[in-house]
Amino acid sequence: MRTAEDPRRELRADCSRCVGLCCVALAFARSADFAFDKPAGDPCVNLDHDDRCRIHPQLRDRGFKGCTVFDCFGAGQQVTQHTFGGRSWRDDADTRSGMFATFPIMRQLHELLWYLEDALALPAAAHLHPALRQARAAVRSLAQAPAAEIVAADLEQLRAPAAQLLRDAARLTRESGPVGAGPIGSGRGRVARSRIQPGADLMGADLRRADLRGAELRGALLIAADLRDADLSRAELIGADLRDARLDGADLHEAIYLAQSQVNAAAGDARTRLPATLDQPAHWR
């Protein structure tokens, strides 16, 4: 759910204000997520002359699950409407190369802005809010800059201090309430609680009904994990890989740093509780 007051509304993709940048600028390889190879800079054959996808309603059925998972965090409309003033990559060679170079960097900037906005919404991290607002202002300033300045920027210099603030804000929030306790899973599917940590390999793990409140799952591999009816309140999920994870009935409405792309990659149902800033994917039951 989005409201007019939500500062993240411009960090959500609006394809009507973009010129199909993700369908042209980026490469993809034939796999379970894409039906064929496409080099960076080549328009996808499914892109029409109005910069819309011809098969958008059938993407998953036609072998393009990866397209339904991708989220540009609003970088497409920012590059199209602001950085290049409404021009298109179809206009001329300079615009084409400039847009294609700027778009991936803008996506990183907008993704960082998304997480900074998430952190600013965490009451437990209130004393970090002034520093978070400063970090947000610096990222916003670069996102509003000319294309040449964006492409030449040292992103790591901008990202490193912001990343530390995000970790600190998440830690304060994770520690602000009850944390998970007791066994996880049962029998042969049981997972030791010591495995619940940043970067953990939990591919295919049985985490049904697990108490994961306050868990630090930053960068964890949760591919095809069974998280049905799990409680992920205040669990930190930045960078966690949720591809094909089962989230039926899971409580993620207070999860920290959860992004739409992660939700899109997972499977859930009407009982799954998501943060108010995220939408339930159309492919969920």
Answer whether 251's CB lies under 8 Å from 273's CB. yes
Pair 52, 127 in one domain: yes
Domain of residue 115, residue span: 7-174
Are residues 81 and 199 located together in one domain of the fold? no
Q: Is residue 36 part of a domain?
A: yes
Cα separation, 8 vs 23, in Å, equals: 23
Higher pLDDT, 186 or 205: 205
Does residue 102 have a pLDDT over 80? yes
170 vs 4: which has the higher pLDDT: 170
| 45 and 146 belong to one structural domain | yes
pLDDT at 199 over 80: yes
Angstrom distance (rounded) from CA 164 to CA 55: 41
User: What is the domain count for the chain?
Assistant: 2
What are the backbone angles phi and psi of residue 256, rounded to the nearest 5°? -95, 130
- Same-domain status, 62 and 139: yes
Give, in order, the Cα–Cα distances in Å from 281 to each of 160, 234, 262: 32, 22, 10
193 plus 167 within the same structural domain: no
| Residue 179 falls inside a structural domain | no
The answer to whether residue 157 scores a pLDDT higher than 90 is yes
Same domain, 134 and 219: no
Residue 180 placed within a domain: no
Same domain flag for 189 and 167: no
What pLDDT is stored for residue 186 in this prediction? 58
Would you say residue 92 lies in a domain? Answer: yes
Q: Specify the CATH number for the domain of residue 215.
A: 2.160.20.80
> Do 219 and 251 belong together in one domain?
yes
Answer whether residue 1 shows pLDDT above 50.
no
Question: pLDDT-based confidence at 2, cuts 50/70/90?
Answer: very low
Instruction: Indicate the range of 6-10, 30-34, 91-95, 112-116 predicted with least confidence.
Output: 6-10
